[in-house]
Amino acid sequence: MTHTQPDRSVLIALALRLSWLSVAWAVLSGAASLAVGVLDHSLVVVGVGLNLLGDMAGSLVLIWRFGHERKRFHRAEDAERVARLIVGACLTIVSAFLAVEAVRRLTAGTGAAHAVAPIVVAAASLVVLPPLARAKRHAGTMLGSRALRGDGTLSGVGAAVALSAVAGLLANRTLGWWWVDPTAALVVAPVAGLEARAVFAPAP
């Protein structure tokens, strides 16, 4: 049995649906993650929220980018270039924030508090973001869009931060390991930075 690649218009429609889903999730969960993370002093939960807002910015520009391709295919390369710049900038901001704040928290000896709310917020993102990340990276590969693949990585970084948040907050709550939260953020930060570099790299 042979498998044919979907028509590009079908893939563009999929990319738009995934981008709108990212925007919807960011609106629902991003603000909540930021608010809960700030109140509980949880760096990785703040990172989840910041990453979601970055993902929303990337998804909004991708909606513009693929909507532009639908109307004027000959300008698709220009739209892709703009989308790459914005997604790369979002990845860079997330990477820098997590790295700087993680070092500051480790130096100061401060971690997250023991509340349950941040665990619940992070766990929700852990359910939604991994399949969304895989779908966006796959669609980006099929479409040849490094911007969409980079946006998929933003979702994947968000999932990694959410996993780190759940593990770190549970460790702090049960064992008093305050350092797990900022250490987890420090581990995730370079991943976002490396993907930002890949997104910014000139097309071959």
Whether residue 40 is contained in a domain is answered as yes
Q: By mean pLDDT, which of 1-10, 91-100, 145-154 is the weakest?
A: 1-10
Segment 93-150, tens digit of pLDDT: 888 888 888 888 788 776 655 667 777 877 888 899 999 999 999 999 999 888 898 8
pLDDT band at 14; cut points 50, 70, 90: very high
Q: Is residue 75 part of a domain?
A: yes
Provide the percentage of residues in the chain whose pLDDT is more than 90. Answer: 16
Q: How confident is residue 16, by pLDDT bands cut at 50, 70 and 90?
A: very high
Q: Does residue 34 lie within any of the structural domains?
A: yes
pTM comes to 0.75
Tokens of 127: 């359910």
CA–CA dist 102, 15 (Å, integer): 33
Lowest mean pLDDT among 19-23, 146-150, 153-157: 153-157
95 domain residue, yes or no: yes
The Cα–Cα gap between 102 and 43 comes to: 7
Tell me whether residue 2 is in a domain.
no
Alpha-carbon distance 139 to 144, whole Å? 8
- Block residue for tokens 């028509």: 7
Q: Indicate whether 3 belongs to any domain.
A: no
Q: What percent of the chain has pLDDT over 70?
A: 88
CATH (domain of 23) = 1.20.1510
Using the predicted structure, report yes or no on whether residue 39 has a pLDDT greater than 80: no
Domain extent, residue 64, equals 8-200
Whether 41 and 182 have beta carbons less than 8 Å apart is answered as no
Model pLDDT, residue 78 = 74
Domains identified in the chain, total number: 1
Confidence of residue 73 (pLDDT cuts 50, 70, 90): low
Tell me the average pLDDT across 74-103. Answer: 80
